Amino acid sequence: MSAIEFLNVDYIYQADTPMAAWAIKDFSLKLETGSFTAIVGHTGSGKSTLMAMLDGLLVPTHGQLRVGEVVIDNRADKKALARLRQGVGYVFQFPESQLFAETVLKDVMFGPLNLGVSPAQAKEQALTALEALKLPSDINERSPFELSGGQMRRVAIAGVLAMHPSVLILDEPTAGLDPQASTDLLDLVDELHQKGTTILMITHQMEQAARFADHVLVMNHGQKAAFMTPHELFSNAALLNEAGIMPPASVAFAQQLQSHGLRLADSVPLTIEKLADQLTIRLKQGGRANG
């Protein structure tokens, strides 16, 4: 599958009834193959509805969605939706709650088998996905419910990867994980991105958006408030305030320093590491700036 494109898409819950509610309104956006997009915005801004359309769980009320050669609109049939789902994997929030099989390997094989591949091929795809998620082979015959929270999360993601999606959607992938498990998981997601998978990640963690995403999509009341690089977004105080978004801690700290006269060469250091580098350079130059 190639680029993703939304063309003037609306989604209305309970359309044509007195209870009709706009969730997405006149949304247009094109995402390039192999890109990493973070999707941010307040609760109820339309993030999950938008991704549900991309995965074929919902179809647009108006407008059109294109993913590669697949075109989805309000007339889309089951065949078109099935083609869409073959190329798009959706890792829901707390995906480990969907684990069910008696062994890790059987759980990860379930998706490929559902797509109609042979048991031998499903096993091969499952083993490859488990290896990609850096899970030890000795867990394959164990119950997934014996694993740690971080391992269970990886098994659930492996179950999606085993279906060979070219587009991967992650909804708050680190929710409930400890800091080390979160870091390890995001590093694995970044590896998938580097290998060419198109990533869309819903997150409330601005540090994650700043560190990993090529672009950030800001949703506000069902509409696209902005689509820009992390550096552009976190440089725009007015937009952040309007959308109710707090910048990453490194950016907020840099802004505090500058308000007290310590100017940095890069006023928007997106990570703690970049902030530390900027501080080292500035302090070697002599500390406080003039004026």
Domain locations in the chain?
A: 4-247, 248-291
Full-model pTM? 0.90
The C-alpha atoms of residue 235 and residue 108 are separated, in whole angstroms, by 42
**Other beta carbons less than 10 A from residue 46's beta carbon:** 22
**Residues 129-144: pLDDT tens digits?**
999 999 999 999 999 9
Assign 287 a pLDDT band (cuts: 50, 70, 90).
low
Residues 232, 238, 242, 248, Cα dihedral to 10°? 50
What is the pLDDT at residue 84?
A: 95
**Residues 146-165: pLDDT tens digits?**
999 999 999 999 999 999 99
β partners of residue 67: 4, 70
**Residues 86-121: pLDDT tens digits?**
999 999 999 999 999 999 999 999 999 998 999 999
Residue 290 pLDDT > 70: no
What is the pLDDT at residue 262?
A: 83
Q: Does domain 4-247 have CATH number 1.10.20.140?
A: no
Residue 190 pLDDT > 50: yes
What is the pLDDT at residue 263?
A: 83
